[in-house]
Amino acid sequence: MPKFAANLSLLFNEHDFVDRFAAAAAAGFKGVEYLFPYAWPAAQLADALQAQGLVQVLHNLPPGDWDAGERGIACHPDRVGEFQDGVGRGIAYARALGCPQLNCLAGIRPEGVGPERALATFVDNLRFAAAALKAEGLKLLIEPINTFDIPGFFLNQTAQAAELIAAVGADNLFIQYDIYHAQRMEGELANTMARYLPQIAHMQLADTPGRHEPGTGEINFPFLFRHLDTLGYDGWIGCEYRPLADTVGGLGWLPAA
């Protein structure tokens, strides 16, 4: 059975952020992820992880101005210096938190920037980031995100992510496969997982419609979990969904250990 990590950006919002580590551990999670650690001192988060015996599974590189609607800057030609600075900041947090991998958000293609220029910028930035992370023994991930939730997001198909990996040519660059985003953009989940499994280092889940917990929508998660066992997937699956009610009350979908 896959290993499930609590996404503390979406789950346990009944608690202040730092208190969510304890709530996740009490609910039986062994790993956690969240969007960004940068609003808190790394030492404070590291203490919370250690106190609860949790593994830090994933966080993202800095995304630009998230509160202003930016969703990554890796495809922005005029933000390369800022992106590179963010890689250094992300690595510093990953080192402090024992986090083995960082996700790079492609971002929304800027107005007036053609797709070819955006692609060239993204590839160059990924080469820079992959080299910097490899020097620290870390994996770099890229995540296709659906364009219904984030119109204009530059990376939105699994095949596109695989093509980017080939173009970058870094052996520590992998796909973050989000089941929710993939279902909305392309479906064909089981076959896509099987085809790209060697390039998938991390997964996330939510049901659709609604982006709530498994069992609230159209995706057959019990089948997919068995399928992943058959394929031999040994990575984490981040629970990145919005609970319909309180978090603990919605955890009945979790398979028995």
pLDDT, one tens digit per residue, over 177-218 is 999 999 999 999 999 999 999 999 999 999 999 999 999 999
Percent of the chain residues topping a pLDDT of 70: 100
**CB within 8 A of 213, min separation 6: which ones?**
206, 207, 239, 241, 243, 244, 250, 251, 253
* Residue 240 annotated as catalytic: yes
Mean of pLDDT values over 41-46: 98
Distances (CA, A) of 159 to 65, 75, 107, 200, 233: 28, 18, 17, 12, 19
pLDDT, one tens digit per residue, over 124-155 is 999 999 999 999 999 999 999 999 999 999 99
- Find the catalytic residue in 143, 163, 188, 213: 143
- Find the catalytic residue in 70, 116, 188, 240: 240
Percent of the chain residues topping a pLDDT of 90: 98
What pLDDT is recorded for position 189? 98
Q: Domains of the chain by range and CATH?
A: 3-253 (3.20.20.150)
* Residue 111 annotated as catalytic: no
What is the rounded average pLDDT for all residues in the chain? 97
CB 184 within 8 A of CB 208: yes
Q: Is the pTM of this model over 0.85?
A: yes
What pLDDT is recorded for position 1? 83
Mean of pLDDT values over 172-177: 98
Confidence band for 256, pLDDT divided at 50, 70 and 90 = confident
